[in-house]
Amino acid sequence: MNVMSNTRVVSDIDPFSEEFRADPFRYYAQLRALGPIVWLEKYGIWVVQHYAQVRSVLMDFTRFSNAGGGGLTNYFKEPNWRQPSIILEVDPPDHERTRKVMMRLFTPGALQKMRTGFTRVAEELVDAAIARGSVEAVSELVQPFPMTVFPDAVGMSPFDREIMLVYGGMVFGGFGPRTPWYDELMSRAEEVGAWINAHCERSALTMDGLGATIYEAADRGEITDAEAKLLVRSFLSAGVDTTIDSIGLCLRALAEHPDQWAILREDPSLARAAFEEATRYDSSSQSLFRTTTGSFEFEGQVLGKHEKVLVLIGSAGRDPLAWEEPDRFDIQRRITKQTGYGVGIHVCVAQMMARLEGEVFFRALAEKVDRLEMAGLSTLRLHPGLRGLTSLPILLTGKY
Ligand code: OVM
């Protein structure tokens, strides 16, 4: 396509519509056919959809800022419903200090310690599902796994944890447009925000969890106590729905691809690879936002200052220019360019913990389950910000 540098390639595609969210992959292909960067007129935002441009935008943190906010709301122009995240929604140099504190939590030794507890919980959940034979896998098998192991690892009390799901819904729903649905969701923002704030306090956390380790960084003077509290909040924001939705979609992909399930069942050591492939093929995090810091040319288009850019990491994972047969779910694929956790300085800080959750969950499943089949239609969570399932009826039988 011959594009003049002052002519925007425009599309009326609405990435927040129900049709788009029901089958984003079809729209990704349409967008990729339009060019490397497209103007979405309904929202007045740019969108990038190819592996190469997704990567170059995410690597270029001086021109594509995070300080404009993690969602559609443009913090350079309007206020947000919650105080901005001090790790996601900041740029260097501020970002380095908070990121470093979070990075240090995920050493191989720390992950190894988590593995034991995670495995016990996964095995109990899988055993219970096999005993039932037929389950609504989202509520009975998938959701209880991160909802148990993640807050346990952070050091939260075992009570009222379901509120975390309401909060997670607000965080990711809040990344989308202001609609009646959004207003309904946010009607509980004050109450839920207060609950979350209270549970991020040092006094609300056990002394041996990830939360306490963040407060130790405050004791050493690397961050303030107020910052420690906000970093715990980031954990609670980004750590629960993301893994629930990714594990649920991976489970569905396996149930819908009997050949792939057979490969995993025969060799449970492929569990980590299966989850990695699902993170590319169909997983919770499909898109991110950046905001331009100035006016400049990018891929033949002139971008204005403080314009939002929707970065379709899910489309990058399906880009035929970067992957062989991208629409095929193949758990033996060697993945060297994952975009499902983002790319660059903001790449998911807890990605090793997410991978550990996926590995442990699917290993327990592969070791114990023989038949795994869909027992009805799954339903999508039509929720901006994250992609996931609200129900996944499956049948399973034990190996022995
Ligand atoms: C945060 C946060 C919230 C949502 C997502 C995320 C993907 C971070 O509050 O820091 O990262």
pLDDT in tens, 25-69: 999 999 999 999 999 999 999 999 999 999 999 999 999 999 999
Q: Determine the residue of 87, 236, 351, 353 to mutate for testing ligand 1's pocket, defined as the one with the most ligand atoms within 8 A of the Cβ atom.
A: 87
- Does the pLDDT at position 5 exceed 60? no
- Does the pLDDT at position 349 exceed 70? yes
Q: How far is the CA of 135 from the centre of ligand 1 (A)?
A: 31
Domain segments of the chain as ranges:
2-398
Higher pLDDT, 158 or 153: 153
Residue nearest to atom 9 of ligand 1 (CA): 234
Q: How far is the CA of 228 from the centre of ligand 1 (A)?
A: 15
Query: How do strand 379-381 and strand 388-391 relate by DSSP bridges?
Result: antiparallel
Q: How far is the CA of 277 from the centre of ligand 1 (A)?
A: 23
Q: Tens digit of pLDDT for each residue in 232-269?
A: 999 999 999 999 999 999 999 999 999 999 999 999 99
Q: pLDDT-derived band of residue 182, with 50, 70 and 90 as boundaries?
A: confident
What pLDDT score does 335 carry? 97
Residue nearest to atom 4 of ligand 1 (CA): 238
Mean pLDDT along residues 286-296: 98
Question: Would you tell me the crossing angle of helices 144-154 and 351-368 to the nearest 10 degrees?
Answer: 140
CA 204, 207, 211, 215 torsion: positive or negative? positive
Give the angle 146-357-156 at the CA atoms, nearest 5°. 40
CB atoms within 10 A of CB 174: 23
User: Cα(148)–Cα(125) distance, rounded to whole angstroms?
Assistant: 11
Quick one: which of 390, 340, 320, 359 has its CA closest to 114?
A: 359
Q: Determine the residue of 58, 82, 88 to mutate for testing ligand 1's pocket, defined as the one with the most ligand atoms within 8 A of the Cβ atom.
A: 88
Q: How far is the CA of 85 from the centre of ligand 1 (A)?
A: 7
Q: Tens digit of pLDDT for each residue in 267-289?
A: 999 999 999 999 999 999 999 99
Q: Which atom of ligand 1 is nearest to the CA of 342?
A: 7
Instruction: Write out the DSSP string of 289-308.
Output: EEEESS-EEETTEEEPTT-E
Helix (H) or strand (E) holding 232: helix 225-238
User: pLDDT over 70 for what percent of the chain?
Assistant: 98
Q: How far is the CA of 70 from the centre of ligand 1 (A)?
A: 8
What pLDDT score does 364 carry? 98
**Does domain 2-398 fall into CATH 3.55.40.10?**
no
Q: How far is the CA of 270 from the centre of ligand 1 (A)?
A: 29
What pLDDT score does 295 carry? 98
User: Cα(22)–Cα(42) distance, rounded to whole angstroms?
Assistant: 19
What pLDDT score does 6 carry? 63
Residue nearest to atom 1 of ligand 1 (CA): 234
Matching residue, tokens 């055993």: 127
Q: pLDDT-derived band of residue 1, with 50, 70 and 90 as boundaries?
A: very low
Residue nearest to atom 10 of ligand 1 (CA): 234
Q: Determine the residue of 171, 246, 283 to mutate for testing ligand 1's pocket, defined as the one with the most ligand atoms within 8 A of the Cβ atom.
A: 171
Residue nearest to atom 5 of ligand 1 (CA): 238
Q: Determine the residue of 101, 234, 235, 348 to mutate for testing ligand 1's pocket, defined as the one with the most ligand atoms within 8 A of the Cβ atom.
A: 234
Which stretch of 59-63, 87-91, 326-330, 378-382 has the lowest confidence by average pLDDT?
378-382
CA distances from 11 to 20, 35, 40, 167, 171 (A): 13, 11, 5, 33, 27
Q: Determine the residue of 58, 85, 154, 240 to mutate for testing ligand 1's pocket, defined as the one with the most ligand atoms within 8 A of the Cβ atom.
A: 85
CB atoms within 10 A of CB 252: 21
Mean pLDDT along residues 140-160: 95
Q: How far is the CA of 237 from the centre of ligand 1 (A)?
A: 6
Q: Extract the tokens encoding 321.
A: 């220019």
Q: Extract the tokens encoding 148.
A: 């148990």
Instruction: Say what the pTM is.
Output: 0.97
Helix (H) or strand (E) holding 129: helix 108-132
Q: Enter the DSSP assignment of 371.
A: E
Q: Residues near ligand 1 with C-beta < 6 Å?
A: 70, 85, 87-88, 171, 234, 237-238
